[in-house]
Structure 1
């Protein structure tokens, strides 16, 4: 397991323990059910850190995807805010995903979850790599919720009103029933360079 993973595990565990569970009466604009599972500890497999650019077929950017994961994990504990898209104000689910990619790779994704799904590459669930996007039907409509895949069946997202950015297990029954698609963000040359720089700064 890469050395950079261990600080993230500590941060995630401490952040999740620091916040009490919110009232079940709080309803999320994007995750309507109050039955979402509690946070789980994130465990990442080192061999799962691979993503490829669709514009540069065969170009291995395994090291670069860890920068996306590091950025996403750095937001653990930040509060949910409907319509929020910054660390200062809080995030909703699509605002969180947008911030991760803009901050790390300089890519500006569409604002809404369904538009993020429409503008990215469809992949099979079995082909998920860290940094890919995972979508869920949480409001009786497709692609109403989105998160960033971390590896080993875990993803990170901004769940709902009254809660904070956290890590979840896609194998939990709640998410299994609502999963409705995986997508990959195509990385152009500039994005790959930015990811490489971001990764080098973290080493």
Structure 2
């Protein structure tokens, strides 16, 4: 079963907004952006959420907010930098966007942490975190057997990650703990910084 999530911007004083997840009813991140985007512009047919429990004062929260602002950005193999989406390489050469490690590199750069643009390098950059101790912003790694992992996502909360899945897709959220695919190929988590 695939769980879908919708994010809604709620305006606060001082030009801040809060991104809320309808799946958990919890504030994912506070961002300093134009709160004009509505829930329906990000994901059709979603309803507003009113419960606010956390903000983005942590590095992980800042990284999560940066990644969430990229929802819907096209996948581009080799794409992404610490500055944002870029043209990729090979099959991604004609597409401006992110690959999985490009998205996480960009997100964590917004929090002041430099990561390499390769999933295997990111797997070795930070402290290992047990599944039961995940925090918003932790990196989640998948696949690759006994070699380097082949995919990375950024943990939000409640078993939900944001990632750039594959060519032809866009940056999206996925309930990885409930996914028959991602749960089986989960390799571990790392907390950068």
Q: TM-score, normalised by structure 2?
A: 0.65
Structure 2 residue 159 is the aligned partner of structure 1 residue 161:
no
- Extract unaligned runs of 5+ from structure 2: 1-8, 11-17, 22-26, 29-36, 87-95
8 Å contact from structure 1 (residues 16, 77) kept in 2: no
Instruction: Quote the offset at 1:108 in angstroms.
Output: 1.6
1:15 aligns with 2:42: yes
Instruction: Answer yes or no: is 1:5 the counterpart of 2:27.
Output: no
Mean alpha-carbon deviation: is it higher for 89-98 or for 141-150?
A: 141-150
User: RMSD over aligned Cα, in angstroms?
Assistant: 3.2
TM-score, scaled to structure 1: 0.62
Deviations 1:84-136 (A, max 9, x none): 0132421000011001111x222220110011011211110110000110000
Q: Secondary structure at the match of 2:20?
A: helix
Question: Which of the residues 151, 172, 186 maps onto 1:145?
Answer: 151
Given that 2:64 and 2:156 are in contact with CA atoms closer than 8 Å, whether structure 1 keeps it comes out as yes
Structure with greater contact order relative to length (CA < 8 Å, sep ≥ 6): 1
Unaligned runs of 5+ in 1: 19-40, 51-61, 187-203
How many residues in Structure 1 have an aligned counterpart in Structure 2?
148
